[in-house]
Structure 1
């Protein structure tokens, strides 16, 4: 199908230049892409090597991006080339994922390269569609425009990152997750608290953050402590529920064995029950790593100093500086993904014995 679309594109106008239909001679790289696409059709049934598809994908992406510099308006041939290159990218990622390398280092590299290639191609497709369709930048700016604003605004983005992530998110995340773990141990220790305190935790989890954020601002002021308080509320319940479930994972036989060794409650908790609960605790930590960032950004919409991701997003939207809004979104996405990845790496190091990690 990908090769067929490339062949069809050869017979269609690729776009217009100066109001006149442009020919493929104006974009010679697309001719090379079509030739490679047709060659790949001949080898498709005989080979499952993904690198040929990857080469065709790269040539197509380069050709289409170069075409955007020449064309005033994309034509039917351009969109056929885009669809063809998308299919080649899909096939390349699918075949690359199907490889089963024997060396662990190669497998780890593969697990990183495959999503990286797919993510880069999504950005390329975004660029091709927005610029090829002449989408107004107020509605959706192309990634190149967002990247330019990102590089030009690094000092501002860094200050916002410090205010939102390094202060509100990390401190609120630590306080919320840590206090929930302590409360979970207390609930596990006392049946009375299990009947009385757990329903209160359920009630707190149902509080709407949009309603809680202004109250936290009135209580703790306009600076980062009020945002950290919102993060504490958002991260408390996921950790509480997961920790209680994890503390109940050790069997009665295992606890009886600890008692035969004259182990007290705290020894049993430290040596048996917390290790058994570790997968549940890390599951909550991974959930909270994204919830904390969302809560801090939303809280900044309801009163903050003149710094912060949420403040910048709300302000720049009012000024119609959508590229700056997307630059802040990119910072938030990168920070959240990195935070989640760090927690996942710590989980693999701590719970190496768990079947889900050994697979």
Structure 2
């Protein structure tokens, strides 16, 4: 009962603090609001688990997850390297790079736009649990097959956004470049590619989340004895839910850092765009 009361008090204090901080238009207040919200959420989680005596098999407390995190840091690091650095990051770079090059070719030849983009929409709609086993059989059980799954998942979202961005310039802007006797490649480099950057980064941010999801899910269909997906599937079978949640924490931190890194690069590259004003 003490834990439940403490959880209610902390929740009320956190709500009061966030309401007051949200009225302040400073960078410190903007940073403090999510931090306070996260800390309150973790404490309330701990209070609910301990106050109601919830079984660790159903929902382990944050303190238990933190203890397992410290005990299994070596295993978690190996899984991080296997899944995030080898599978997700490699597939992300290859898939996004291929998508950007293909977008330029599609933009250059209109018949490819009409033929390839409908196919892209069809492939993007395919469920990952359908294509992952096939790619695992094609490329083997190591990280290469996971990278292949990530390539398939990120290629078409980036392609569609890049093609849309390259077509976003106005007729007046294109006429002005022709007035300056600029050829296709000059117009692409000086006008259309910079104008497409907000669209491209939108696709890159979407792909950053898809990459990690694809790599983890693909490991459920075949993997060596390391990897976040492998560890989650085996730990669930052994009822080691604290280790499962520790892997989820690693995945959440990696995904947030991945997305945040792309967002920071976007802010530096598109500082001139109206969407970046006031940030």
Could you state the TM-score of these two structures normalised by the residue count of structure 1? 0.76
Q: Residues 170, 81 of structure 1: CA spacing in aligned structure 2 closer, same or farther, 3 A cutoff?
A: closer
- Provide the residue aligned with 2:179 in structure 1: 260
Say what the alpha-carbon RMSD is for the aligned residues: 1.2
- Residues of 1 paired with 2:82 and 2:52: CA distance? 38
- Residues of 2 paired with 1:154 and 1:147: CA distance? 10
- Residues of 2 paired with 1:333 and 1:318: CA distance? 22
- Provide the residue aligned with 2:122 in structure 1: 203
- Provide the residue aligned with 2:198 in structure 1: 279
The answer to whether structure 1 residue 130 and structure 2 residue 49 are counterparts is yes
The answer to whether structure 1 residue 87 and structure 2 residue 12 are counterparts is yes
* Cα distance per residue 1:97-134 (max 9 Å; x no partner): 11124xxxxx2x33222211111110011001101110
The answer (yes or no) to whether the contact 2:10–2:44 under 8 Å persists in 1 is no
- Residues of 2 paired with 1:236 and 1:225: CA distance? 16
Any residues of structure 2 matched to 1:1-359 within 5 Å, and which? 74=1, 79-101=4-26, 107=27, 109-359=28-278
* Cα distance per residue 1:264-308 (max 9 Å; x no partner): 111111110011010111111111111100000000000010000
Q: CA deviation at 1:94?
A: 1.5
The answer (yes or no) to whether the contact 2:92–2:208 under 8 Å persists in 1 is yes
- Residues of 1 paired with 2:271 and 2:59: CA distance? 43
- Residues of 1 paired with 2:5 and 2:50: CA distance? 15
Q: Residues 79, 156 of structure 1: CA spacing in aligned structure 2 closer, same or farther, 3 A cutoff?
A: closer
- Residues of 2 paired with 1:288 and 1:110: CA distance? 30
* Cα distance per residue 1:201-242 (max 9 Å; x no partner): 112112221011111111100000100000011101111111
- Provide the residue aligned with 1:25 in structure 2: none
The answer (yes or no) to whether the contact 2:136–2:221 under 8 Å persists in 1 is yes
- Residues of 2 paired with 1:293 and 1:113: CA distance? 27
- Residues of 1 paired with 2:4 and 2:61: CA distance? 17
- Residues of 2 paired with 1:269 and 1:178: CA distance? 17
- Residues of 1 paired with 2:219 and 2:25: CA distance? 46
Q: CA deviation at 1:82?
A: 2.9
Q: CA deviation at 1:323?
A: 0.2
- Residues of 1 paired with 2:240 and 2:69: CA distance? 12
* Cα distance per residue 1:167-216 (max 9 Å; x no partner): 11111001111111112211111111111111111121122210111111
Secondary structure at 1:98 match in 2:
coil
Q: Number of matched residues?
A: 278
- Residues of 2 paired with 1:156 and 1:190: CA distance? 49
Give unpaired runs (5+ residues) of structure 2: none
Secondary structure at 1:141 match in 2:
coil
Runs of 4+ in 1 over 4 A off after TM superposition: none
Q: CA deviation at 1:85?
A: 2.9
- Residues of 1 paired with 2:47 and 2:276: CA distance? 39
Could you state the TM-score of these two structures normalised by the residue count of structure 2? 0.97
- Provide the residue aligned with 1:24 in structure 2: none
The answer (yes or no) to whether the contact 2:8–2:44 under 8 Å persists in 1 is no
